[in-house]
Amino acid sequence: MKLVFVCFEFESNKLRKQPWRYVAELTRGLGGDVEPVVVTDTEADVDGVAVRTVDTLGSVTGPSTTLVEAVRREAPDVVATVLGPSSLFRPNTLSAAVDAPTVGVMTSPLYRLRDVAKVGTRELLGHSSYLLGHLVGALTPDAVARRHLDQYDRLVTLTRSTGDALAETGTTTPIDVVRAGLDPFDRELPPESAVEEVRAELAPDGDPIVLYFTSPLTLRGTDTLVKAFAKVVASTDATLVVLARQDGGGLSEEEQYLTELASDLGVRDSFVLLPKNLTPEGVKAHLRASDVVALPYKIVISGIPISILETMAVGRPVVTTRTDGLPELVGDRSQIVEPNDVDSLAATLEARLADADEVGRRNRERISDHPTWDEARDDFVSILEAVV
Same domain membership, residue 238 and residue 215: yes
* pLDDT for res 251: 54
* Total domain count, the chain: 2
Same domain membership, residue 70 and residue 216: no
* pLDDT for res 278: 87
Q: Which residues of the chain have pLDDT under 70?
A: 246-251
Same domain membership, residue 375 and residue 351: no
* pLDDT for res 208: 97
pTM for the model: 0.92
Same domain membership, residue 247 and residue 212: yes
Same domain membership, residue 239 and residue 177: no
Among the residues of 90-221, which ranges form H helices? 94-97, 113-117, 121-126, 128-139, 142-149, 160-167, 184-187, 192-202
Same domain membership, residue 277 and residue 321: yes
Same domain membership, residue 213 and residue 164: no
* pLDDT for res 45: 79
Alpha-carbon gap, residue 206 to 185, rounded angstroms: 28
Same domain membership, residue 76 and residue 31: yes
Length of the chain: 388
* pLDDT for res 246: 63
Alpha-carbon gap, residue 80 to 156, rounded angstroms: 10
Q: What is the domain extent for residue 155?
A: 2-181+371-387
Same domain membership, residue 99 and residue 58: yes
* pLDDT for res 248: 55
- Read out DSSP for 337-358? E-TT-HHHHHHHHHHHHHTHHH
Strand, coil or helix: 5: strand
Same domain membership, residue 129 and residue 93: yes
Same domain membership, residue 294 and residue 243: yes
Alpha-carbon gap, residue 11 to 21, rounded angstroms: 10
Same domain membership, residue 129 and residue 34: yes
Domain CATH code at residue 104? 3.40.50.2000
Q: In what order do the strands lie in the sheet with 271-274?
A: 271-274, 239-244, 209-214, 292-295, 318-321, 336-337
On whether the CB atoms of residues 107 and 158 are closer than 8 A, the answer is yes
